[in-house]
Chains A and B, each alone.
Chain A
């Protein structure tokens, strides 16, 4: 595996010599961030769809590498395709209820949990999920990348293709909007009913 070459060198090698290992290396580098970006757009209930988005992104990249303009960074180009593709899929699955991940089941039926607290937590988390779904797409994505997937502001800036200050502003505005939406639902800003 060629881990030393830059993305742009790998692109040139693939386009000019049809070097398949160069493309494989690009997929290896970007499959995880592309998937995480997709899942941040789609939300926690749509992990399977996010994986499908990641597949589609690489099929599209493979088909249009020749038309890739090298003045843009390869990573920015890939992330833009991923974000748009995830938005397209989200528009299709919007009205479908998310399925519960099997990984989440043990958390719901933890034997030592108090049933009253569990129900209260579920209600609160559901209210939060509904409020997040009302935010602009880019705010939703920034929130999930930061608070769910644990990405730093710098990493989010790279994934969304915006400056770090813009990400900080997205997060700040998203929190303020969430606060207002939660208050409308009767929750205080720390999540208590």
Chain B
């Protein structure tokens, strides 16, 4: 095993290569493009077997990914943001076909206004589709995540497609040391693709993805998809356990960082959660008993694990790097519904929105969030959700607005 400096995109490409993906339907989009460029190069130079085809849109790309998997080959694909949304119809469709495949999403904020940097609204939009979701916070996790994802997706008890998510720029273009497992070690962990009972062959004709009319039959197929996805809770654990045995690295469905004796918790996903670890360490130095919970598995939602890990805690700050317009932080809502009604759950579940479009979250902001939930616990009342934004930032945007010829009046706060 060797440690190399890899970007998140590079790690994703290595994951696909080590998993011996047969078919890579592709379409370029920032900040994912390096993944398909890397794979294309390897295929062109015979370092990797496999076929990469550029489709004319992400909607077509996911269609091709799904039909190829339904025919019977191992498929890898990647996209971001607008591309993921353009394909959204097919995400739901392909999951309904029960086509196993790995889709790497390099998270990027959504239009409008259009931007290039990371947040999680794109991948959150796919949460109801039937795709499982694994969220990574390091480049190592990306590579390992792709390999584990194939085991999970192709498991006969699941047979659903899976998204492995990494943040644009902060992981996709950032190099970190990554341990590259040996080919043989990966082969021992991940067997070749087994099409199982759904495939296209001349000698066993099938009509796939057919119309289902009637609420009762339709409900059956949809519920079964959900049950299959729920099997992901157990299967993730067993695959992660095996991964640890083979490679020595442990990936619980929810990472708990210094939470055992913690009274207060941060809950956060993705690469920015790494920053929360720094904040935890500094707060601990200052005498706090605080920790971080970082879900890796977002779909299926690891509710039982969260119930266990939140039991007896006083207050929780959920930091969402996404915003459901008209409601608030998505992870916050998911967590609240998972914890409600269970015994000894934290009295305070506070919502913070930060990091949209890659907006940085400073360590001081983490300290302040910790103080907010502590005060709230002492006062016994949940604070309103906070959109993380500073006075300096507001002044900055006013300057931009001046240039953009917004009326002077509004600078003084008048209508």
Q: Do A and B bind?
A: no
Interface residues of A (CB under 8 A from B): none
Interface residues of B (CB under 8 A from A): none
